[in-house]
Amino acid sequence: MPTLLLHNIGVLLTMNARVGDALGVIENAAIIFDGDTIQWVGKDSALPRAHTAEQFDCLGGVVMPGLIDCHTHLVFAGDRQDEFALRARGATYQEIMLAGGGIRHTMEATRRASQSELISLALPRLARMLSRGVTSIESKTGYGLSCDAELKTLEVMYALQKQQPIDIAATFLGAHATPPEFEGKTKAYVEHIVDDMIPLVVSQGIATACDVFVEKGAFSVDQGRRILQSALDAGLKCRVHAEQLSHFGGAKLAAELFALSASHLEYADVEDMQALAKSGVVAELLPVAQEFLGMAQNASGRALADAGVKVAVATDLNPGSAMCDDLHLAARLSVTRGGLTCEEALQGVTCHAATALGRDDIGDIKAGMKADVCVLAAKSPWELLYDWSNNPVRAVFKNGRQAYLRE
């Protein structure tokens, strides 16, 4: 039963690529929803005669799939303004981390915060994301770093999912940093993750994936392999924070384990890129983090795409390296810093981000997909990337319902 008609779409970006048309454009288009699913997509002029009572006029604007932010650290308390100021005076992210600041600092604030405090802090971030057309995100733990605090963070994500429209795919990132209880005993912490945390996380049933920060001063490749293999054995998917601050082996590990994604990749080399392409691992480009940390090193979206890797683009929202929930900015920077074409940047926040989440029912517009779309007050697909001072999103539909409307 048709429930809603979106009509008067000037330019529909279906994201179903055809030869010579990466965005799968249909001009003068319409979409019909049946409940939470897309029932029909086509030219306005070809609309089936008997459709629906409820209609939404897209005013001749651009319509595209709901945006997907496939890499965030949404749930945290406190801030790291002092570190931002220290970096402005020349300190590096890694120096601050090795001196016991960084992730640990946020861990302390997050452990102290109650579930309702964490929910209140995350809700405005989600509201801003929705107003920019985001309908699904991934969200990592990693500021709890104990069984209780990691499970608490996952419960917060579950509660957030119930309180607002954006879908939240939860990822367990117990291997984000070694907590103070295990100071100097990272090996023992890895065993704690494998023996205690992963079984608890799996039995809680909220997280669907496991991530590891593979980096000097964080977790080695072997430790990453041990954790991710046990997560895979327990039924979780896996992801890797790889080659962010040095060339360290995370990308090849992601390829070896057929991870959903490898993120950052500033220091990835050609061999890494070939390995990712061969294993079908999505590269997550996080240019806001590069910019926020003032990194000279640029992850090359261009080289990754040219190597045949699917490139997604995400915010990496977190208090340390990317205090920013603006996926439009990430997409813009993926063009200017990452070397993506405008088409690739839009794929990066829609269809390729869906692949990074392991979802085949979101990220493009065709019959049978989830009815997640955003309507722009824009005539051209490039407006979202070109006009850095404007948010062109006018309306957002999530699961077939209007979730946001800018008057």
- Cβ-count burial of 99 within 10 angstroms (0-12 exposed, 13-18 middle, 19+ buried)? exposed
Rounded CA separation 152/163 (Å): 17
Rounded CA separation 394/398 (Å): 14
**Which CB sits closer to ligand NIG, 73 or 352?**
73
Over its C-alpha atoms, the chain yields an Rg (Å, rounded) of 21
Q: Which stretch binds Fe ion (CB under 5 A): 165-173, 196-204, 315-323, 381-389?
A: 315-323
Q: How many CB atoms lie within 10 A of CB 308?
A: 12
- Per DSSP, the three-state class of 355 is helix
- Residues near ligand NIG (CB under 6 A): 73, 102-103, 106, 213, 241, 244, 289, 316, 318-321
Q: Is 316 in the site for Fe ion (CB under 5 A)?
A: yes
The residue whose Cβ lies closest to Fe ion is 316
Q: Which does 179 bind (CB under 5 to 8 A by kind): Fe ion, ligand NIG, none?
A: none
Rounded CA separation 369/138 (Å): 19
**Which CB sits closer to ligand NIG, 152 or 241?**
241
**Residues 353, 68: contact at Cβ < 8 Å?**
yes
The single residue listed with the structure tokens 């984000």 is 176
CB of residue 108 to Fe ion, shortest distance in Å: 19
DSSP state of 196: I
CB of residue 80 to ligand NIG, shortest distance in Å: 7
Q: Of 363, 287, 379, 340, which Cα lies nearest the Cα of 134?
A: 363
**Which CB sits closer to ligand NIG, 68 or 299?**
299
CB of residue 174 to ligand NIG, shortest distance in Å: 13
**Residues 285, 340: contact at Cβ < 8 Å?**
yes
**Which CB sits closer to Fe ion, 14 or 355?**
355
Q: Which does 289 bind (CB under 5 to 8 A by kind): ligand NIG, Fe ion, none?
A: ligand NIG
Exposure of 100 in the CB half-sphere (CA atoms within 13 A) = 6
Rounded CA separation 126/258 (Å): 30
CB of residue 252 to ligand NIG, shortest distance in Å: 18
**Residue count at the site for Fe ion (CB under 5 A)?**
1
**Which CB sits closer to ligand NIG, 105 or 370?**
105
CB of residue 173 to ligand NIG, shortest distance in Å: 8
**Which CB sits closer to Fe ion, 272 or 316?**
316
CB of residue 106 to ligand NIG, shortest distance in Å: 5
Contacting residues toward Fe ion, per CB under 5 A: 316
